[in-house]
């Protein structure tokens, strides 16, 4: 069942990789790895959008597996047709030196450890975390079992803590996996959680490798796997890890756009931001954050940039808008807006929030060691302008500010609501690690100060 559960995700993942390649046909060893990792999230995200459309149009589950295969065959055919005239040239490949080999091997050991942790957690918590089965797997059950009543998954009669208003990327992928296998099994959400967990790590590795060095990319992955709870949460099937994937993807793609000025990267960044909005409510906040960042950071060339970014997010955002207006019940976060706004003026609330933010951020990583490391190694921002760093930093700061604002006006008891803060911080942690390792000098510079 485990193997079958992994296999049912493969058509979407391969389709995602091929689509990324068709949109951004740049070749080379570094970009192949990046496209493969990016394809995991893009493929699964688009699979859920297609399944949603399929349910809306045909109002039934059966047969979607055939559509997935048809999409895959079409994308393979288009790719072969387009690539046939060209000979593959991987570009210049520099074999890793001894230091790089050692760090890469360490990253490999960390990846094996991460896999062991992930499998152990998955086997001991097969239903995942509380939120996973209460929100996402519950919705998946409604969709899979519900037949033409699948839309009841988002019924306004559902009590608010089921969060029936959450965008359904995870639930739809789980339900389409069950449909393909022909039965409900916890292995599908497990495999989905693993795909996004290791996809995020791979994307971080590939993103840092694309801009910096192999040693630096390996270190970034080591630090991500060393971040407490990231692997655990990913293995417990929460949607925060898929969301972290899309936040990282948007940040890295905007970063790479700032360096290479290839408009295809903007389309992919817009698509990733749109899929973030399709994953979770905080993803909708992230979508607006990314839009503000694009408008602010690239304000001098906005006329050129914005249309490509809009092209990327148009499809997922259109379905998010449809879902929110036509299907989802109202959010639990707005009850009595006037009194909620008054909470902004409560200094005790700010103090409690700041204390919690500081303590949770502290727990996210070994900041003291990373700060000393940065001080001793120094900064390397010599490639391109400041805009790639500004884009990533603005995304992180504005996203954190968004979380803060939501907690500030939350109608729920603050101490209870803040229990989710650590998971929210995990959503931005891969992008923080990406930015850190894009700024700090590479380990390759230890003995020759390049």
Partner 1 sequence: MQSMKRITPYLKLGLLVLLVVTCFRSSVEQLSEARQLADTDGAFFVQWEKRFDPIKDSLPFKYGVIGYVADWDLPGVVYDPADTEAEHVLTQYTMAPIVVSRDTSHEWIIVNLNTADFDTWFAMQKGEYAVIKYKYNLYLVHRIK
Among 76, 78, 108, 149, binds partner 1 (CB under 8 A): 149
* Smallest distance from partner 1 to CB 64, Å: 18
* Smallest distance from partner 1 to CB 39, Å: 27
Q: And the tokens for 229? A: 């709870």
Instruction: Give strand pairing partners of 379.
Output: 440
Which residue's CB is nearer to partner 1, number 165 or number 264?
Answer: 165
Asked whether the beta carbons of 35 and 24 are under 8 A apart, the reply is: yes
User: Any contact of residue 106 with partner 1 (CB under 8 A)?
Assistant: yes
User: Any contact of residue 225 with partner 1 (CB under 8 A)?
Assistant: yes
Choices 38-46, 61-69, 237-245, 440-448 (CB under 8 A): range interacting with partner 1: 440-448
User: Any contact of residue 126 with partner 1 (CB under 8 A)?
Assistant: yes
Q: Which of residues 333-352 bind partner 1 (CB under 8 A)?
A: none
Which residue's CB is nearer to partner 1, number 227 or number 410?
Answer: 227
Backbone angles phi, psi at 227, to 5 degrees: -75, 120
Which residue's CB is nearer to partner 1, number 23 or number 374?
Answer: 374
User: Any contact of residue 411 with partner 1 (CB under 8 A)?
Assistant: no
* Smallest distance from partner 1 to CB 218, Å: 9
Instruction: Give strand pairing partners of 440.
Output: 379
CA geometry: angle 397, 237, 268, nearest 5 deg: 50
SS3 percent helix, strand, coil of the chain, rounded to 5, is: 80, 0, 20
| Pick from 214, 201, 169: nearest CA to 36 | 201
The rounded distance, in Å, linking the Cα atoms of 52 and 47 is: 9
Asked whether the beta carbons of 372 and 235 are under 8 A apart, the reply is: no
Among 142, 166, 278, 422, binds partner 1 (CB under 8 A): 142
φ/ψ region of 346 (left if φ > 0, alpha if ψ in -120 to 50, else beta) reads beta
Binding site for partner 1 (CB under 8 A): 103, 106, 109-110, 113-114, 116-117, 120-121, 123-127, 130, 133-134, 137-138, 141-142, 145-147, 149-150, 152-153, 155, 157-159, 161-162, 219, 222-223, 225-228, 231-232, 366, 369-370, 372-373, 376-377, 443, 446-447
């Amino acid at each position: 069942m485990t193997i079958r559960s992994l296999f049912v995700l493969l058509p979407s993942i391969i389709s995602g990789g091929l689509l990324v390649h068709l949109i951004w046909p740049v070749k080379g060893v570094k970009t192949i790895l990046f496209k493969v990792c990016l394809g995991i999230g893009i493929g699964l995200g688009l699979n859920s959008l297609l399944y949603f459309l399929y349910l809306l149009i045909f109002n039934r589950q059966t047969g979607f597996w055939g559509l997935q295969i048809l999409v895959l065959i079409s994308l393979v055919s288009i790719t072969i047709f387009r690539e046939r005239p060209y000979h593959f040239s991987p570009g210049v490949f520099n074999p890793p030196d001894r230091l790089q080999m050692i760090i890469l091997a360490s990253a490999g050991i960390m990846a094996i450890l991460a896999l062991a942790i992930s499998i152990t957690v998955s086997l001991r918590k097969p239903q995942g975390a509380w939120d996973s089965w209460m929100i996402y797997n519950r919705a998946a059950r409604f969709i899979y079992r519900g037949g033409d009543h699948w839309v009841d998954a988002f019924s306004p009669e559902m009590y608010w803590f089921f969060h029936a208003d959450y965008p359904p990327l995870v639930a739809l992928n789980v339900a389409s996996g069950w449909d393909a296998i022909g039965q409900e099994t916890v292995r599908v959400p497990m495999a989905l959680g693993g795909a996004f967990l290791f996809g995020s790590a791979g994307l971080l590795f590939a993103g840092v490798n694309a801009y910096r060095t192999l040693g630096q990319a390996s270190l970034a992955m080591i630090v991500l796997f060393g971040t407490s709870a990231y692997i655990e949460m990913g293995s417990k099937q929460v949607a925060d890890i898929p969301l972290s994937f899309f936040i990282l993807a948007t940040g890295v793609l905007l970063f790479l756009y700032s360096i290479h000025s290839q408009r295809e990267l903007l389309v992919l960044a817009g698509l990733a931001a749109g899929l973030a909005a399709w994953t979770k409510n905080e993803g909708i906040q992230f979508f607006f954050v990314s839009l503000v960042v694009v408008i602010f950071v690239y304000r001098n060339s906005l006329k050129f940039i914005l249309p490509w970014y809009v092209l990327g997010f148009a499809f997922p955002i259109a379905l998010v808008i449809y879902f929110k207006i036509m299907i989802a019940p109202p959010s639990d976060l707005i009850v009595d807006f006037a009194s909620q706004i008054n909470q902004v003026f409560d200094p005790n609330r700010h103090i409690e929030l700041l204390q919690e933010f500081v303590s949770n951020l502290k727990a996210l990583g070994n900041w003291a060691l990373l700060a000393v490391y940065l001080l001793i190694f120094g900064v390397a921002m010599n490639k391109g302008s400041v805009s790639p760093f500004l884009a990533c930093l603005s995304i992180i700061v504005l996203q954190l500010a968004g979380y803060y604002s939501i907690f500030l006006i939350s109608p729920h008891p603050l101490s209870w609501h803040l229990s989710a803060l650590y998971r929210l911080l995990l959503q931005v942690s891969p992008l923080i690690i990406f930015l850190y390792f894009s700024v700090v000098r590479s380990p390759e510079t230890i003995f020759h100060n390049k």
